[in-house]
Amino acid sequence: MSLTNPTVVLATRNQHKVEEIRALLAEMPMNFLSLSDFPDLPEVVEDGATCQENALKKAQETAAGTGHWALADDTGLEVDALDGRPGVYAARYAGENATYSDNCEKLLEEMMPIPAGQRGARFLTVMVLSDPEGQAEAVEGELEGQIAEQFYGGDGFGYDPVFYVPKAKKTLAEMTLNEKNNLSHRGQALILAKDLLKRRLK
């Protein structure tokens, strides 16, 4: 399968994600749209049991619905002390209409009795590139860290203010976009996705 049309749709309406992805793929000779450019396209129901299932479904349905290649990602947060929760349900951990703050506050509340040495966690991002016929490839990135005891930093989104990265000595929300993209789970997955795009671009 070859990417003959220089347009790729990012299968998300999350402008924070779009900004991160476009920043890392800025050098690619193609036009990156997002689902915001297709307001009539129905929402993809993310009912997969894994991040890979959700990312695959989003990529294939977006590609089929728009007629363009699509790049989709799904991210889970696995917390050791919570037996891997919230996992694939990270975005709706505090409920279907939860805000980023709601999810972070629920996580901090559950982690309150957990001591500093036992707050290990990891982000996993699976990214899938699909053509309009549904042929797809997947890559993934992972970031190890710890759950902080309170909010730190005002940048980023999602769990960034409570996800502390020991090697950087700061949370994801305390990093610049460039710093975050250089080490984050999504950044790692995007580097591999960029290789997929380069191989498929004709």
Tokens of 97: 């209409």
**3-class secondary-structure state, position 81:** helix
Peptide bond into 166 cis (omega under 30): no
Q: Give residue 107's identity as a one-letter amino acid code.
A: L
H or E segment and range at residue 64: helix 51-66
Residue numbers annotated as active site: 74
H or E segment and range at residue 8: strand 7-10
30 near 7, Cβ under 8 Å? yes
Give Cβ neighbours of residue 48 (< 8 Å, ≥ 6 apart). 54, 56, 57, 74, 88
| Cβ-based neighbour number of residue 186 at 10 Å | 21
